[in-house]
């Protein structure tokens, strides 16, 4: 029997409670969920790839069927290399849909055997984004409601 494997890609800079909620819920739908952390050289990251891998592994360690990995290839190529059949994408608001729909179509064109599954966050996480967390932190605000404690500690160290 083929394992049902999904990839949840993103920069996770930093990983938020919203990401963790979606990953936790997805872990109940799939045999394995790979959290694929992108190494986008065109985007300057707040946290290093090593920090993002480490903190994601730490905060997701309680979920048995999760694997955290980095990649710097086309997402569909990474998915194929991992034998994944599904790409998970989170939709926080209607405004996310158009961009995600476009990506989904392009991924389907590049690899017709990969499906995209859109998931919405739990209501309390609908407004959380990594960029907002970084902005709040940079202005001295409290991010403790948006990220797990180890992430908050790491972010404060980097500030």
Residue pLDDT tens, the chain, 159 long: 789 999 999 999 999 999 999 999 999 999 999 999 998 766 788 999 999 999 999 999 999 999 999 999 999 999 999 999 999 999 987 778 889 999 999 999 999 999 999 999 899 998 899 999 999 999 999 999 999 999 999 999 987
- Exposed e or buried b for every residue in 43-72, given b needs 16+ CB within 10 A? eebbbebebbbebbbebbeebeebebebbe
What are the structure tokens assigned to 25, written together? 């819920």
- In angstroms, the CA 39 to CA 49 distance is 7
Among residues 25, 80, 92, 108, which one is catalytic?
A: 92
Active site residue 48: no
Among residues 11, 27, 130, 134, which one is catalytic?
A: 130
Among residues 43, 62, 149, 157, which one is catalytic?
A: 43
Three-class secondary structure of residue 84 per DSSP: coil
- In angstroms, the CA 148 to CA 105 distance is 33
- In angstroms, the CA 40 to CA 126 distance is 25
Active site residue 43: yes
Active site residue 28: no
Q: What is the pLDDT of residue 137?
A: 93
Q: What is the pLDDT of residue 93?
A: 79
CATH 3.50.50.60 fits 5-158, yes or no: no
Q: What is the pLDDT of residue 94?
A: 78
Q: What is the pLDDT of residue 1?
A: 73
Encode pLDDT of 23-50 as tens digits: 999 999 999 999 999 987 667 889 999 9
Among residues 19, 52, 89, 134, which one is catalytic?
A: 19
What are the structure tokens assigned to 114, written together? 């990969």
Residues ≥6 apart with Cβ < 8 Å to 68: 34, 35, 37, 53, 56, 57, 60
């Amino acid at each position: 029997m083929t394992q049902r494997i999904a990839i949840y890609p993103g920069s996770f800079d930093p990983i938020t409670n919203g990401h963790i909620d979606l990953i936790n819920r997805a872990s109940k739908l799939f045999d394995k969920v790979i959290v694929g952390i992108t190494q986008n050289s065109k985007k300057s990251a707040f946290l290093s790839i090593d920090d993002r891998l480490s903190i994601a592994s730490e905060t997701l360690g309680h979920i048995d069927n999760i694997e955290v990995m980095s990649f710097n290839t086309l997402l569909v190529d990474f998915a194929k290399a991992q034998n994944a059949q599904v790409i998970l994408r989170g939709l926080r608001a209607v405004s996310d849909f158009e961009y995600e729909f476009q990506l989904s179509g392009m991924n389907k064109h590049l690899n017709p055997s990969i499906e995209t599954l859109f998931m919405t966050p739990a209501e309390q996480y609908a407004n959380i984004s990594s960029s907002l967390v970084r902005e709040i932190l940079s202005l001295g605000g409290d991010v403790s409601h948006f990220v797990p404690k180890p992430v908050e500690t790491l972010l404060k160290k980097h500030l």
